[in-house]
Structure 1
């Protein structure tokens, strides 16, 4: 996307849009705003973001699946003391618009991130991403290296090899393994096993016991399967956007349950009320991204793996795989869950700032 001036596509002054508060323990964070923050127009769609800090090198924070820029509530004020900090809702999530587009593979978000840095940040930035956001940062760094000064992966999603099941994706993140398994089970024929399902749904010539084989039947079967998958995903989406279910899932991946508060839950519930939210949910979980090693082979930037080692979804073994494939990556572990930036924010901020300082970015 080309624009004549970035300022023309941004609504509302940055510094006036950030409201801070202290939580029940006296820790500073950004306040939840039910109608979002600033707006940047990208490819005709409104994208929500916030900015804090008026000096220092830029950092761009990217949330995970189902979350929003509010998930960086404890990090933005601390990082803004020494950096220009930007946090953005990816298209389809948070307070950004939710057009029904092709989201699988994350290319749309990688393009969005690269354009945001070019048009709003105006200089290469360190990108920090949690879960699906980590994969988005990795993809953007590989595809638009001129916009990315460094990459910080926080319990990042992303596959290392060819997919093995019809609903396995690069999005092994904020949508629980149990949910993905339930969606897959609901969409498969009752008498087909997981292994059979994995070979039948992606154009393989082999078929599960209940699936028509070959020729015109295989062309008929796929739309039927797709309809079943959409229905199963929609039912799952309705369940997962309920406050009680959101709270339950978050507590599975947070060590500090006190941080799973009402504002965090509402920051997920409110955007999920959008009429297109379920369709976006389906698009996201129905496709795969490029394998992580392929992306790492194209990188030449500093990298930090800032990992919650108690994550039941994406453990530290993933970080070890990344380090083997990209030896330049540094590792910093935390006794936190899937979202260490919000689980143990003070420690997270300290480790991130220390790494930035080593890269020559004053902190």
Structure 2
């Protein structure tokens, strides 16, 4: 099994005996001994003649690479990158271009260090198994993962390696990571970010690249594929149904609404124009280099809006970003400063927007970015750090973004190790952000549960398993910005959340679902059903947000969302107010069974309210647009819409809601309950029975894609 190279901060996740395998693989790969190799007080295989295979995935660098440092202690090192369809299919064409640039740069760097990068194409577990046999590897090193599908791949790699029997026994698998904080035990990790910051754990410094063995093995090292090669590999005669299914993501909600004449022609966020096809913000640069000058841009990809290349380019771009206020004569830095201004849709948002892809591919580590920001801050302040904040908004953006990313990574790692939660948590990465979800059941129709504003997937704590027990597969996820899912510095809109749900169905569920949503979740699933009807078998609205508008053809939708100092102050006030009054607010939503507004529910809401980025989410309250009426969105779902309405809802006039739905929505079924705003949690047995009967009445047959 994996050798013990781990720091104390992650020891709580794993068995006290490092050579005893984990007894449970439900959250991902077994024996997940996450290791950080800065301290080497071990008796690892470096003490004997050894060969190490280091599997690069989303860690495409030699700088600050603990796995490479540990592997360098072996007599021979075989760096490996595998172009695996399961990994590549997760990337857009733009990300594939950035991937190729980063892998190519990594290969050149390793050549400079006297090594090379072995390039292979295929299923990674088979490739690694073959390489281990070919080079008689004693160790395999790989970075820790939190995403469920990647954890499954790690399991497969471990199983494949276990089947390899060499003269000295089985190769050891070493899982590493590069944590930002030192001397931290996850068992003692506070659930509140506010409490976590009070502990003031020391920050770990990034590590320099190691000296690699000069022994270069006689191998067929392979050659780098081109972009056309990857497209051909990924598009090698896929089934037509799969092409049609995945192509659903290619057209944005705005495009569909525009075609339906619902969308205002002025699609913008804080004055920035949206791409008419994708709906993404177009960062049009007005910068033009000096006449007669040619310069090498720091950007790459189809839109030339993302930092692209290897670590050296990314660090140069980071230096330019941090020094934004200083000005520059360099054309490439001026171009970056222009894109920074375009990407700053709200304060600090530009950093993740420009550098997010570099973090996703591991071209730069979080602690390297933190270190560079702090170093620059000290340069500006004669070697000191002010207790009153950072001297430039760019330094603040880097520090706050990196610390936020680290927190949600820690939460994801810890969440997968906890067995006492109502649901077994998995992680899905959407546009680089960590999203929590769960699934229960192995057969039957697919059901997706979507929570309301301020809630999380565990709000369906007494629905998920019960519904699944009756021959259904039940998914639930925590939307971006809520619960323990990530809360990045972005503009939150109902369209963004609807597109997240669309992508979750396409990428994770992979078949049409029965959509169930409470409150805001009800409105979001209505958007999904209305804009991408092929994804929905039926729609179940539980005290849904949204309006019914007679003569809806005159309603116009605009994507324009603005933030300001006023909205930020408003969000801060709401945040403080909710922390003091959340108990009474939630209890009022449970008028029939007030005991269901229990300490667990309240404490989890309070915990979430202290997460980094929560005030950005609350700003969305001031810009919600629910002008697309429910009767428009659901007009094609005759006899496939169920409304479960708590008639004692303190937030809405349930009698008026029901009357409007009956009058203007054809073919809907309505169930009136003696409950408040959250009937699914206030009277779960009743709601579960209604949903199960409904799904089976609609029919459980689905077309798996």
Pairwise same-fold verdict (TM > 0.5): yes
The answer to whether the 8 A contact 2:638-2:668 is kept is no
The structure showing larger relative contact order (alpha-carbon pairs under 8 Å, at least 6 residues apart) is: 1
Q: Structure 1 residues 359, 270: CA separation in 2 closer, same or farther (over 3 Å shift)?
A: same
Q: 2-side partners of 1:338 and 1:12: how far apart?
A: 37
Aligned-CA RMSD value: 3.0
Match of 1:88 in 2: 477
Q: Structure 1 residues 10, 316: CA separation in 2 closer, same or farther (over 3 Å shift)?
A: farther
Q: 1-side partners of 2:609 and 2:150: how far apart?
A: 24
Q: Structure 1 residues 89, 228: CA separation in 2 closer, same or farther (over 3 Å shift)?
A: same
Match of 1:249 in 2: 585
In structure 2, runs of 5+ residues without a counterpart are 1-86, 92-145, 153-414, 551-556
In structure 1, runs of 5+ residues without a counterpart are 22-30, 163-169, 171-201, 203-221
Q: Which of residues 79, 86, 89 is equivalent to 1:4? A: 89
Q: 2-side partners of 1:232 and 1:83: how far apart?
A: 43
Q: Which of residues 287, 296, 304 is equivalent to 2:634? A: 296
Secondary structure at 2:439's aligned position in 1? strand
**Deviation, structure 1 residue 160:** 3.4
Match of 2:491 in 1: 102
- Structure number with larger C-alpha Rg: 2
Q: Which of residues 655, 678, 683 is equivalent to 1:344? A: 683
TM-score under structure 1 normalisation?
0.72
Q: Structure 1 residues 109, 303: CA separation in 2 closer, same or farther (over 3 Å shift)?
A: same
Per-residue CA shift, 1:269-322, capped at 9, x if unaligned?
Answer: 222211210111112442313232332335467110011111111224213322
Match of 2:43 in 1: none
Per-residue CA shift, 1:237-279, capped at 9, x if unaligned?
Answer: 112034xx21111111102111111111122122221121011
**Deviation, structure 1 residue 349:** 0.6
Secondary structure at 1:241's aligned position in 2? helix
Per-residue CA shift, 1:60-83, capped at 9, x if unaligned?
Answer: 000000000010000011011121
Query: Residues 304-343 of structure 1: matches in 2 within 5 Å?
Result: 304-314=642-652, 315-343=654-682
Per-residue CA shift, 1:167-196, capped at 9, x if unaligned?
Answer: xxx9xxxxxxxxxxxxxxxxxxxxxxxxxx
Match of 1:116 in 2: 504
Q: Structure 1 residues 74, 347: CA separation in 2 closer, same or farther (over 3 Å shift)?
A: same
Q: 1-side partners of 2:474 and 2:639: how far apart?
A: 19
Q: 2-side partners of 1:3 and 1:248: how far apart?
A: 48
Q: Structure 1 residues 65, 280: CA separation in 2 closer, same or farther (over 3 Å shift)?
A: same
Q: Aligned residues, how many?
A: 286
The answer to whether the 8 A contact 2:441-2:474 is kept is yes
Match of 1:72 in 2: 460
Match of 1:231 in 2: 569
TM-score under structure 2 normalisation?
0.38
Match of 1:263 in 2: 600
Query: Residues 152-301 of structure 1: matches in 2 within 5 Å?
Result: 152-161=540-549, 226-242=564-580, 245-254=581-590, 255-289=592-626, 290-299=628-637
Q: 2-side partners of 1:337 and 1:155: how far apart?
A: 8
**Deviation, structure 1 residue 358:** 1.3
Per-residue CA shift, 1:28-66, capped at 9, x if unaligned?
Answer: xxx358xx8211011111111111111111100000000
Q: 1-side partners of 2:539 and 2:585: how far apart?
A: 27
Match of 2:100 in 1: none
Match of 1:219 in 2: none
Match of 1:139 in 2: 527
Q: 1-side partners of 2:524 and 2:643: how far apart?
A: 15
